[in-house]
Amino acid sequence: MLHFYHQTSIVSETTVTPAPRIADGGRTFRIKKKIDESVYHFLARFCDVEAEDSLVVSTSNSFNITIRGGQQFRTIINLQRLNEVRKLCEFLAETNHQLRDEGLFICCLETSKLRKQRLFRKYPPGIRKLYYFFDYLIKRVAPTMRATRWFYKLLTGDRNKVISFYEMVGRLIYCGFQVEYDEVIDGRHYLVARKISRPPASRLKERYGLLLSLNRVGREGKMIRVYKFRTMVAFSEYVQEHIYRKNKLGANGKFRDDKRVTILGGIFRKFWIDEWPMIINLLKGEMKLVGVRPLSPQYLALYDPDVVRRRLSVKPGLVPPFYADLPSTLEEIQASEIRYIERYKQAPFRTDVIYLFRALWNIVGCGARSK
């Protein structure tokens, strides 16, 4: 489980007071009649649920939050699983608007991992793997493609979404929150998030397709859109800083133990299927066949400034020097790229041919793969 700890004003222990009423589409009921005692004690650790500036709801409709007459709250607690919310980012953005600066949003969901565990407990061994296979296709793959999205909505009504933990964290960050704590209680993953900024002013993203374009730094620092097939959960790019802080980098210069990669994405990466759309960038003249790997601004910030300066003097490439030299640390990767750039500037064509054949030999002969 990934925990994000930051210096905050969260209270570690408070006295549990009598429960307030919860709003749910016009109905009210006592909080202890709706949730078990363990969840109530969890909430009481982070806020005063009795306070007038605390709002406790159990809803999948943002209307039940925005109807509060413009009042801004210090804490908003939603006891409904976020899996049931149709336009999830819109819901999170509306929640953000109703919170004061530095206010807390406490929510819960059934993550994809918890869903798998529940399905495996529910069905016998001979059936559960087959059931989970079709559940994954319908609930995870079908929503990413326009050709099958209608089928997904027809079967599910866009409810009971399958959401991974990292996707949820990414959505919260995208909508102006910072996740400070998370805990699994009775089959639900609870998250405590603090409002640190406002949601994007432009139209909110709700979902990603199988084909995506990513902001990458090109030659002379020009930002280019690099095309790839999606291999990670939606909104994974917003979790990059947190993943680096917790796991650092492993061999091949990528994040160690990166659980944002999906099952299908792992297959794509193993056989470089995810890289095929970059041919579009090659045809547009933004990249070349052999060259340094196109990096995001966040990842590039990890590099030595002198290496960054040299990298920006050449076009990025589809086949990076990494597969020719097979470095194992970030420092070795930077040294490998410097050697390539220096040789390339002296003999461009000859250098690219040598690096291409060395990379192909390592890939085919030595089994080098993208993880």
Q: Where in the chain is the domain with CATH 3.40.50.150?
A: 21-111+163-195
* pLDDT over 60 (residue 279): yes
* pLDDT over 90 (residue 112): yes
Give residue 63's pLDDT band: very low, low, confident or very high (50, 70, 90): confident
Higher pLDDT, 117 or 213: 117
Token couple for 126 = 């001979």
* pLDDT over 50 (residue 4): no
Amino acid (one-letter) located at 249: L
Kindly compute the dihedral angle of the four CA atoms of residues 241, 245, 247, 252, in this order, to the nearest 10 degrees.
Answer: 60
Mean pLDDT computed over 16-40: 55
pLDDT confidence of residue 142: 87
* pLDDT over 70 (residue 263): yes
pLDDT confidence of residue 255: 62
Q: CA-to-CA distance for 360 and 363, rounded, in angstroms? A: 5
pLDDT confidence of residue 7: 34
> CA 43, 166, 124: angle at the middle one, nearest 5?
90
Mean pLDDT computed over 61-71: 80
Mean pLDDT computed over 89-114: 96
Angle between helices 330-346 and 348-364 (to 10 degrees): 140
Other Cβ atoms closer than 10 A to 268: 20
Higher pLDDT, 28 or 181: 181
Mean pLDDT computed over 291-295: 95
Q: CA-to-CA distance for 65 and 367, rounded, in angstroms? A: 54
pLDDT confidence of residue 5: 33
Q: CA-to-CA distance for 90 and 87, rounded, in angstroms? A: 5
Over pLDDT 90: what percentage of the chain? 55
Amino acid (one-letter) located at 44: A
Q: CA-to-CA distance for 278 and 226, rounded, in angstroms? A: 6
Mean pLDDT computed over 203-219: 87
Q: CA-to-CA distance for 371 and 360, rounded, in angstroms? A: 17
Residues 6+ apart with CB under 8 A from 129: none
Task: Determine whether domain 21-111+163-195 maps to CATH 3.40.640.10.
Answer: no
* pLDDT over 60 (residue 8): no
At 191-208, the pLDDT tens digits run: 999 999 999 988 888 877
pLDDT confidence of residue 66: 83
**What sign results for the dihedral spanned by CA atoms 84, 87, 93, 94?**
negative
> What's the whole-number average pLDDT of the chain?
85
Mean pLDDT computed over 37-62: 90
* pLDDT over 60 (residue 6): no
Q: CA-to-CA distance for 187 and 249, rounded, in angstroms? A: 31
* pLDDT over 60 (residue 335): yes
Min mean pLDDT across 103-107, 287-291, 358-362 is at 358-362
pLDDT confidence of residue 256: 60
pLDDT confidence of residue 10: 34
pLDDT confidence of residue 34: 61
* pLDDT over 60 (residue 324): yes
Tell me phi and psi for residue 264, to 5 degrees: -65, -35
